[in-house]
Amino acid sequence: MSAPTTPEQVRGLVADLLAAHDPATTDRLEFLRARWDAGLAWVNFPVGLGGLGAPRALQPVVDAELAAAGAPDNNPRRIGIGLGMAAPTILAFGSAEVKQRFLRPLWTGEEVWCQLFSEPGAGSDLAALGTRARRDGDDWVVTGQKVWTSQAQTARWAILVTRTDPDVPKHAGMTYFLCDMRAPGVDVRPLRQITGEAEFNEVFLTDVRIPDAHRLGAVGEGWKVAQTTLMNERVAIGGRATPREGGMVGVVADTWRARPELHTPEALDRLTALWVESEALRLAGARLRQQLAVGSVGPEGSAMKLAFARLAQELSGFEVELLGEDGLRYRDWTMVRPEVVDFTGRDAGYRYLRAKGNSIEGGTSEILRNIIAERVLGLPSEPRVDKDVAWKDLPR
């Protein structure tokens, strides 16, 4: 059977799925598994891996039909790291066995994923990481520390980048693995942040054994594999589909409408400018997703993520200023470990504090500006004195 190419064809497949598995009477997980098996999870993925080998542009048609029928989704906000980062990397670099083992429970949400990339001495300069992986027969033994790991407390699996060869320059000696978060030697500890919560964690790895079968890409090519993850991450953060006046700008606009006593000409000018910027970013994100439908992720995702972070911080700051004394109230100072970040259902004070992390997570704004300058604008790269120096000889 050839892959569908029209909305009518995929609507027919959705109708078949709904006829065989009525969402009103079918268990949620059973329905999600059936949707995967029908190739309607990611229509652009290969047959047998949740897809139909169809154009990516047909996915919104499937999603809209299922939503109209009251079908359950896979709670994408809860499993966003798996969907947006782990899955495309596994598809690009995983063996056939790895794809079959991991992609289905990842998509259905049966297994949550986290990302073990950043370290205390390797954040913006990820290639400086020092977590070591040593070969031992058919396994690798991993020791080191990772930091800023969202959802590590609930994750079943992690995407992990390690140092396998300290005798070559830092970009050349990295290798990428899938790590079992329940394996002996994995220690997850909460990190309390400015909001009072522990949304992310530090993770200590002590002689953690990972089978070589769970390696993605060749030994020493971890940087290449990680770039696929990072580019998809920036698209996932900055290029999410949102309706007009969705997200942060919608919250601020609702505050404006509900509080006419806050209105001044100056505030109206600021809100109008921020609304226009938000709408321009939303439309740019739609264009980026259209490009993804026919190609692959490029540096455009970095530009989207950079703009998203700046706008979120400006909107949250404006909201606090607009509310005056009410904007200074903060009722959420509790030590909890949320699985999902909720910007819209919280106080203005929470949004203001949490938005500070937007310019750090998923690549700092400074690094993203470098990427845009070099890969989009074609400007010369910054001088790098460590390019040909072995990792073990770098100053720390």
Q: Catalytic residues, which ones?
A: 233
User: Do 293 and 286 contact (CB within 8 A), yes or no?
Assistant: no
Torsion angle, alpha carbons of 119, 125, 128, 134, to 10: 60
DSSP one-letter code for 282: H
Q: How many CB atoms lie within 10 A of CB 147?
A: 19
| Token code pair at residue 185 | 């030697």
CA dist., res. 310 & res. 366, Å (int):
12
Torsion angle, alpha carbons of 295, 49, 149, 136, to 10: -110
Place of tokens 């429970």: 105
372 CB-near residues (< 8 Å, 6+ apart): 299, 302, 303, 306
Q: DSSP secondary structure string, 182-215?
A: TSTTEEEEEE--TTSS--EEEEEEEEEEEEGGGE
CA angle 222, 117, 59 (to 5 degrees): 80
- For the chain, how many residues are written? 396
231 CB-near residues (< 8 Å, 6+ apart): 297, 298, 299, 301, 302
CA dist., res. 169 & res. 146, Å (int):
21
Q: What is the end-to-end Cα distance of the chain in Å, rounded?
A: 57
Sign of CA dihedral 319, 279, 59, 22: positive
H/E run at residue 113: strand 113-116
